[in-house]
Amino acid sequence: MLSPISPIYPISPISPLAPKSVPDMPQIGGVRLATAAAGIRYKGRTDVLLALLDKGTAVAGVLTRSKCPSAPVEWCRARLESGQARALVVNSGNANAFTGKTGRQAAKFTAELAAKAAGCRPGNVFLASTGVIGEPLDARAFDGVMDGLVAQASPSGWIDAAKAIMTTDTFPKLATATATLGDTVVSINGFAKGAGMIAPDMATMLSFVFTDAPITAPALQTMLSRHVIDTFNAVTIDGDTSTSDTLLLFATGSAAAQGAPVIERANDRRAAPFRAALNQVLANLAEQVARDGEGARKLVEVIVEGAVSKKSARRIAMSIANSPLVKTAFAGGDANWGRVVMAVGKAGEPADRDRLAIWFGGIKVARLGTRDPGYDEAAVSAIMKRPEITLKVDLGIGTGRDRVLTCDLTKEYVAINGDYRS
Amino acid sequence: MLSPISPIYPISPISPLAPKSVPDMPQIGGVRLATAAAGIRYKGRTDVLLALLDKGTAVAGVLTRSKCPSAPVEWCRARLESGQARALVVNSGNANAFTGKTGRQAAKFTAELAAKAAGCRPGNVFLASTGVIGEPLDARAFDGVMDGLVAQASPSGWIDAAKAIMTTDTFPKLATATATLGDTVVSINGFAKGAGMIAPDMATMLSFVFTDAPITAPALQTMLSRHVIDTFNAVTIDGDTSTSDTLLLFATGSAAAQGAPVIERANDRRAAPFRAALNQVLANLAEQVARDGEGARKLVEVIVEGAVSKKSARRIAMSIANSPLVKTAFAGGDANWGRVVMAVGKAGEPADRDRLAIWFGGIKVARLGTRDPGYDEAAVSAIMKRPEITLKVDLGIGTGRDRVLTCDLTKEYVAINGDYRS
C-alpha cells in the first residue's frame, strides 16, 4: 500500500522563490517516519504521514486561535496538557474542520487506530489534517494503511514526510540545525506546509519539529511559544487564519544517552545554543512558507522602525503586509509608497505622517511625509523587478521595531483560490 | 476651458453590476455646479468640480480615520467646526496626500482661489482630492479654470459633477430622493466615487450630498454620523482605508422659503421622513460603490445573524467580506462555506462552531457545525453564477444582526492595481 513516489499536488509550477536545494536531514534519535497513499482526496500521491516517537518524548504545541478550530486542533489542545507524545498522524486532502460530531469521531478513531498499531495510548497520539474544510473525513481510509506505516517507519524519509502533507504547496519545506547541549551535539529537524490561509496569530498551517535534546514539556512549551512570535507569527500570505494551524515540537530526549543534560527550565543557560538553533529552524520554515505563498512571485520583507513599541510596529507591519493594494503594487513592480502611507494610516497605531520615511530595497523614496527630493524612479524600478524586496518604514516617533514576511498578490493567487475546491 | 464632454477614465469596461440607468437629478435650491478640465493628470476629461452654495448653507462631514490623512481632509476637519459652507472644490487625478507642507499650501491656495472667485471666505470653502498619493499637487492648475467655473456654474450638471471626480470608477454614481418636511417637499441629491481603497471605518472615498432642507449644522452632523454606519461604513472592497475618505452633506435651507420648518435637533419628529430619505440616498450611493469595486463581477451581501451584538455581527461580517479566500471563492463561483467558517473563526468574536448555519442565496449549506444533509451542490452552483449573491451566517448564540456589502476578488482587481500608477 505504500507509495514509492510522492508526486507534488501539481496545480502550479514550483514557486520561483523556492530554495535552490533541499537540506540534508540527519536522523533524530527516537523518531521514525513513514508515509502512505490512503486516497483521502488525491490520486497518485501520498497523503498520510505517521511519525513514531520513542517513550519519554516530550511535546509542546501552538495551535490556531480560530474560534472555529478543526477537530484535530481540539484533539491536540486537550492532549498537550500531558506533555507526552508517542505518535503523530497527519493527513492532507481533508482538514476535518467544520465536520461536527462526525469530525470528532474521525479524530478519535484515527488516534485509536494509530495507538493500536504503534502500541501506545490514544492520548499520546497527536493529529493534524489539512485540505478542504466542511467535508466529512472518512477515517476508515487510515485503517488499511496504518499497520503498513508502522512496519515501514524508518529514521530517514524526511523529504517524503514533508511531501505527504502538502496541499497547494509547490515545494516541500524542510530545515535542520544542530546545537551543543552540554558537550553533546543535538539536532533539530522540521518541516512545514503552507501556501494559503496563512496569517498572523497562529502557528502556520502545519509544521512539525523534532529534536533528540532532552527537554521537559513545560520548558519546551515556553521556548516554542517564545520563538513562534518572530518566526511563524511574523508571516502573512493573505491575512486568513486557518482553522487548522498546528505547530508541534517533539523532544525525544535520546541525546541524554550521549551525555546531554536534561533541560527543565526554558531559560537554562546551557540551552542557549539550542534555543538559537530552534529559532533558526522555525525562521527558516516560516520563510519557506512565505516563499510558497499561493501565486507568489515576490518575497517581501516589511520592516517597521521608529514605532512607539514593538507591538505597534508589528501591527503596522501587518497592516502593510496584508494590504491588497500594497501587495498588488509589488506584483506590478510599482514602488507605490502612497499605498504604504495608506496602510500605515489605517493601522490605527500612533503615527505622524510628517515624520514618515520609506525605503524600497534600501533606496529612500520618501522622508518627512513627502517624496524624497533625490528620488530616482529608474533605480527604484530596478529594485522592484527583483524577486526579493525589503520595504522599510521609519515612523520617527519611537524605538519600536519589527519585521514580517509576506509575498505579492498576483492573478495566480486569484486563479488558485477561485478553482481550488472544484 | 470647459470640457463639453466628460469621458470616463477608460481603463476598464463598465462594471456588469452597474445600475441600468442614471437617475433624473432635480435641482437643489442654493446649489450650482460646474466642471472643468484642468489637466491635473488626465487628458481629455474633466477633473475639477466646483459647487457653489448660497449663503446660510450648513455643512456636516465624516472624514477618514486614517492617521495619515490627506491635506484636504485636514483642511475640511478644521473647517467643519464652523458648520458653514459656501463652496466645494474637488479634483481627481491627484489625492494631495503625503505631500507634506507643499500639500497644505496647495490646499490653502485652492481654497483662496475659490473664495476669491466665489466671493466668500476661504474658511467656507471645502476641499477634496482623489487620485495618486505622494505626488505634489500643482494647485496653480486651478488658477486658469476657477473664474470660468464660477461663471459657468448652473443648477443642473449633476452627472457631469459625478463624472469629474471619477478615477478608476467605471460609471458615475448618483442618487436622489425627496421627503416632506412640514408641508414642504425637500430634495436630497448625492454623488460618490469609489472603486478601490474602500474599507470600513470611513466615509467612502468621496461622496457629496446636497439638500435644500433647512437643517442646522449640529443636527445635520448628528444625522450624518448616524446614517453613515449602515451605509458607507458597511461597504468594503478591499479593506484598505483611504487617506482621503470624505463624505460631506450640505443643507442650503432654501426650502425654508417654501415653508419648510427649520430643524435644529436631529431627533425632531418632523424630520423623520428626511432622515429616511437621507438614509436611502446614502445606502444607494454606498451600494453603487460596492457595485463598482475594482474588478468586481459579483455583488455580495453578507448578513450575520445570531451574534452576541450588532457590533460583534459587524466584525464577523467584515471578517468574511474582507477575506481574500472568501472573495476569490465568489469570483470562482465556488460556494466554499469552509472559508466562511474560517473567516468567522478568525474574527475573534464569540462564536460556537457547532451552532453555525450558513446559507448561499437562501439555500442552507451548513447547520449545527457541519454540512446540511439536504445540501444540493447543483442548486448552490446555480446560485453562485448570479451577479448578486446573499451569504447569510447564523451564529445561533444571540440576537445581534448586521449586514455589509462587498464584491468578489478577481484577476481584474490585481491587474487594475498592479498597473494603476505606471
Return the percentage of chain A with pLDDT > 70, whole number: 92
Domains assigned to chain A: 31-291 (3.60.70.12), 299-419 (3.10.20.340)
Residues of chain B contacting A133 with CB distance shorter than 8 Å: 336-339, 341-342
Q: Which residues of A touch B417 (CB under 8 A)?
A: 324-325, 328-329, 332
Nearest to A329 among B64, B356, B417 (CB): B417
**Residue A259 burial (10 A CB sphere; 0-12, 13-18, 19+):** exposed
Of A334, A347, A349, the CB nearest to B418: A334
Hey, what's the cell of B308?
452576541
What DSSP designation does A84 have?
B
pLDDT of residue A4: 30
Q: Which residue has the cell 492532507?
A: A92
Q: What pLDDT was estimated at residue B12?
A: 62
Cα separation, B171 vs B176, whole angstroms: 16
Give percent of chain A with pLDDT exceeding 90.
Answer: 60
* Number of residues that this document lists for chain A: 422
Sign of CA dihedral A307, A313, A317, A319: negative
More confident residue, B370 or A162: A162
**pLDDT recorded at residue A294:** 77
**Residue A119, SS3?**
coil
Residue A326: closest CA among B67, A286, A316: A316
Q: Is the pLDDT of residue B332 over 50?
A: yes
Q: What percent of chain B has pLDDT over 90?
A: 60
Of B301, B329, B327, B326, the closest CA to residue B401 belongs to B301
Rounded distance between C-alpha atoms, residue A338 and residue B242, angstroms: 10
Tell which wins on pLDDT, B422 or B406: B406
DSSP category for residue B379: H
Residues pairing with A89 in the sheet:
A50, A127
Q: Please report residues of A whose CB lies closer than 8 A to that of B95.
A: 338
Cα nearest neighbour of B67 on chain A: A345
- Could you identify the residue written with the cell 527604484? A380
Query: Does B366 have pLDDT greater than 80?
Result: yes
> Grid coordinates standing for A257?
544517552
Instruction: Judge whether residue A138 has pLDDT over 60.
Output: yes
Per-residue confidence band for A325, with pLDDT thresholds at 50, 70 and 90: confident
**Per-residue pLDDT, A390:** 96
A91-95, A289-293, B118-122, B125-129: least confidently modelled range: A289-293
> Please, which pLDDT band fits residue B373 given cuts at 50, 70 and 90?
confident
Query: Which phi and psi angles does B188 have, rounded to 5°?
Result: -130, 120
Nearest CB neighbour to B324, from listed A134, A238, A350: A238
pLDDT at A226: 94
DSSP type of residue A262:
P
ipTM of the complex as predicted: 0.75
Res A422: pLDDT: 38
Å from B377 to nearest chain A CA? 11
Average pLDDT over every residue of A101-130: 95
Residue A167: pLDDT above 90? no
What are the residues whose beta carbons fall under 8 Å from the beta carbon of B119, sequence distance 6 or more?
Answer: none
- Given an 8 Å threshold on Cβ–Cβ distance, is B98 in contact with A242? no
Name, of A348-357, B12-21, B211-220, B242-251, the range with top average pLDDT.
Answer: B211-220
Measured CA angle at A413 (ends A411, A416), to 5 deg: 110
What spatial distance separates the first Cα and last Cα of chain B, rounded to whole Å?
A: 28
Reported confidence tier of residue A342, pLDDT bands at 50, 70, 90 = confident
- Collapse the DSSP code of B92 into the 3-class scheme (helix H, G, I; strand E, B; otherwise coil) and give the result: strand
pLDDT in tens, A70-83: 999 999 999 999 99
Average of pLDDT values for B292-304? 89
Decide which of B44 and A113 is more confident.
A113
Which residues of chain B make contact with A347, given a CB cutoff of 8 A?
Answer: 67
Pairwise pLDDT comparison (A334 vs B307), residue with the higher score = B307
Across the interface, whether the CB atoms of A66 and B242 are under 8 A apart is answered no
Is the pLDDT confidence value at A360 over 60? yes
The amino acid that residue A85 corresponds to is A
Task: Find the farthest-apart pair of alpha carbons in chain A and give their distance in angstroms, rounded.
Answer: 71
Question: Is B204 designated active site?
Answer: yes
**A171-214 tens-digit pLDDT:** 899 999 999 999 999 999 999 888 665 543 333 478 899 999 99
pLDDT digits (tens, 9 = 90+) for B191-243: 988 866 554 333 347 889 999 999 999 999 999 999 988 888 888 766 666 77
- Coil, strand, or helix at residue B402? strand
How far, CA to CA in Å, does B233 sit from each of A117, B200, B246, B248, B388? 56, 5, 12, 14, 20
Scanning A83-142 for CB atoms below 8 A from B yields: 95, 97-103, 132-136
Measured in angstroms, the CA of B20 and the nearest CA of chain A are apart by 28
B65 and chain A: CB distance < 8 Å anywhere?
Answer: yes
Q: Does residue A96 have a pLDDT over 70?
A: yes
Question: What is d(CA A115, CA A104) in angstroms, rounded to the nearest whole number?
Answer: 16
| Residue tagged 454614481 (cell numbers) | B173
Whole-prediction pTM: 0.82
CA pair distance A36, A313, nearest whole angstrom: 44
Q: Judge whether B184 is closer than 8 Å to chain A, CB to CB.
A: no
Q: Higher pLDDT residue, B361 or B294?
A: B361
Q: What is the pLDDT of residues A2-59, one digit of tens each?
A: 333 333 334 567 888 888 889 999 999 999 999 999 998 888 899 999 999 999 999 9
Distance CA B123, CA B28 (A): 23
Q: How far is CA A416 from the centre of its chain?
A: 20
What percentage of residues in chain B have a pLDDT greater than 70? 92
Residue B350 contacts A, CB cutoff 8 Å: yes
Closest Cβ–Cβ partner in A240, A336, A345 for B324:
A240
For the ranges A96-100, A312-316, B68-72, B128-132, the one whose mean pLDDT is highest: A312-316
Sorting pLDDT into bands at 50, 70 and 90, what band is B42?
A: confident
Q: Are A91 and A38 in contact (CB under 8 A)?
A: yes
Mapping DSSP to helix (H, G, I), strand (E, B) and coil, where does residue B82 land? helix
